[in-house]
Amino acid sequence: MSPVRALAPVMEAAPSPSITLADVRAAAARIAGAVIRTPTIRCDALSRATGATIHLKLDNLQATGAFKERGAANRIALLTARERAAGVIAMSAGNHAQAVARHASLAGINATIVMPRFTPATKVTRTEGWGAKVVLHGETLAEAAAHAHELALRDGLTFVHPYDDPGVIAGQGTAALEMLEDFPQLDTLAIPVGGGGLLAGCATAALELKPGIRVFGVEVEGYPAMAQRLAGQPVAVGGPTVAEGIAVRDVGEVPYAMLKRLGTEMLVVPERAVEQAIAMLAEGAKLVAEGAGAAGLAAVLAYPERFAGKAVGIPVCGGNIDARALSNVLLRQLLRDGRILRLHFDIPDRPGMLADIAARISALGGNVIEVNHQQLFGAPTVQSTELYLMVEVRDGAQGNAIIAALQAASYVVRRG
């Protein structure tokens, strides 16, 4: 008979940090008065356009223009007396920087924000305007983050992570708490995902408050890091995006673990859907949203079958979009909708041709807003002229009618 060997004790992994609805409720009490309790509105224009009943949580109305204030305010309120005396440090090139700077200033705490050297001057100025010391370091966010951790260790500062911190996550979850308090009938949420803090906080609060509610995370196609992690795939992200606020490669380990436990489903949306959502929010809801702030609506546009007939809550979680980027998005959407036509003609070089074309367009209600008349160098022969027109119309049907009328008058017209 072989000897019995004693089995070594099984060492269980320590549970990863998490939060509950009670933590979110406690965060709501802490940040009351320091963070705006933004309205949630039902938007009839977007509801008609999408086939879902759309409710928008207007966190673009926060003092710094984004939801990040919730997590920053809660985390700073949780600091010990020693941590408050030493000060805080954060790394961010965007909304988190201003949120930490603002709430540290309100609490009388010194704040240092490390930003990459490429950070636009306007963001640096705004962050400094909230009273923070800004340190520009590194060419990438990763380099800036590493330097921030070095300074935290050297100077005894508390690092306020933008999403990988239970206190921050609980603060972000107050957005869902407020949405469901205002509209208990919501049965679906579509939450943008960068590092995962907003989704983890909102999913936790919503599922505990209203079991059975569907909560979707939304990522843009170039940066589906959380979707890849949850699917057990290697993370492969990159490229330009209008949703730079959620263009994250390294998602938070705490949010990842929480979302994995909750079984949260991710939806990955194309860049074009994000641009369309920005334009629809501007025209239909009269709201300015950055790309990340429009991602929830983009999911409704990209996956209509998931949301048809549902009462959907969407946080417009940020409104800090560059004015030129907003202008370009709106113009691109007008072109896609057929409300702006780009027309190209090769016409004989004779007096009155341009006037005749313009008159025919005007007769059908079109408005010529730009003219490019190449007589010398662009035309194929010296007897012809190359003409480009940009024409404003009501819709695609009116545009098609204008093109048909020009073709009936023997003009050769190409859409540019």
Read off the pLDDT band of 380 (50, 70, 90).
low
For a pLDDT cut of 70, what percent of the chain falls above it?
A: 94
Provide the pLDDT for residue 67: 98
Read off the pLDDT band of 11 (50, 70, 90).
very low
> Computed from CA positions of residues 128, 133, 136, 137, in that sequence, does the dihedral angle turn out positive or negative?
negative
Tell me the per-residue pLDDT of 86-98, one tens digit each, with 9 for 90 and over: 999 999 888 999 9
What's the mean per-residue pLDDT of the chain?
A: 92
Residue 46 exposed, middle or buried by CB count within 10 Å (0-12, 13-18, 19+): buried
For residue 189, the SS3 value is: strand
pLDDT at 4 > cutoff 90:
no
List the one residue out of 145, 143, 176, 185 whose CA is nearest residue 162: 145
Count CA atoms within 13 Å of residue 263 on its CB side. 4
Provide the pLDDT for residue 14: 46
Tokens of 118: 């490429």
User: What 8-state DSSP symbol labels residue 352?
Assistant: T
114, 139, 156 - which closes a domain? 156
- Which is more confident, 146 or 416? 146
361 in Cβ contact with 368 (< 8 Å): yes
In a domain, 300, yes or no: yes
Q: Compute the residue count for the chain.
A: 416
Provide the pLDDT for residue 120: 82
CATH number, residue 296: 3.40.50.1100
In a domain, 9, yes or no: no
Alpha helices in 107-188 (DSSP H): 121-129, 141-155, 166-182
Same structural domain for residues 142 and 215?
no
Structural domain count, the chain: 3
Provide the pLDDT for residue 336: 93
133 in Cβ contact with 101 (< 8 Å): no
Read off the pLDDT band of 376 (50, 70, 90).
low
Same structural domain for residues 323 and 345?
no
Euclidean distance between CA atoms 47 and 37, whole angstroms: 24
pLDDT at 6 > cutoff 80:
no
User: Which residues contact residue 293 at a Cβ distance below 8 angstroms, ignoring those fewer than 6 apart?
Assistant: 59, 60, 66, 192, 245, 315, 316, 317, 318, 319, 321
Euclidean distance between CA atoms 398 and 43, whole angstroms: 28
Provide the pLDDT for residue 13: 42
Instruction: Give the residue-averaged pLDDT of 157-181.
Output: 97
β-bridge mates for residue 387, sequence order: 345, 373
Same structural domain for residues 314 and 346?
no
Which structural domain range is residue 382 located in?
338-415
Q: For tokens 């909708």, name the residue.
A: 337
Tell me the per-residue pLDDT of 101-118, one tens digit each, with 9 for 90 and over: 999 999 999 999 999 988
Same structural domain for residues 257 and 389?
no
298, 331, 364 - which closes a domain? 331
Same structural domain for residues 215 and 343?
no
For residue 55, the SS3 value is: strand
pLDDT at 178 > cutoff 60:
yes
In a domain, 71, yes or no: no
pLDDT at 7 > cutoff 90:
no
Provide the pLDDT for residue 377: 61
Q: For tokens 């039902």, name the residue.
A: 42
User: Which residues contact residue 177 at a Cβ distance below 8 angstroms, ignoring those fewer than 6 apart?
Assistant: 21, 24, 25, 28, 205, 209
Same structural domain for residues 282 and 398?
no
Tokens of 327: 């202008």
For residue 1, the SS3 value is: coil
Provide the pLDDT for residue 381: 64
**Lowest-confidence region among 12-21, 294-303, 380-389:** 12-21
Tokens of 305: 């079958």
91: left (phi over 0), alpha (psi -120 to 50) or beta: beta
Tell me the per-residue pLDDT of 42-73, one tens digit each, with 9 for 90 and over: 999 999 999 999 999 999 999 999 999 999 99
Same structural domain for residues 60 and 133?
no
pLDDT at 232 > cutoff 90:
yes
One-letter amino acid for residue 331 of the chain? L
Tell me the per-residue pLDDT of 269-323, one tens digit each, with 9 for 90 and over: 999 999 999 999 999 999 999 999 999 999 999 999 999 999 999 999 999 999 9
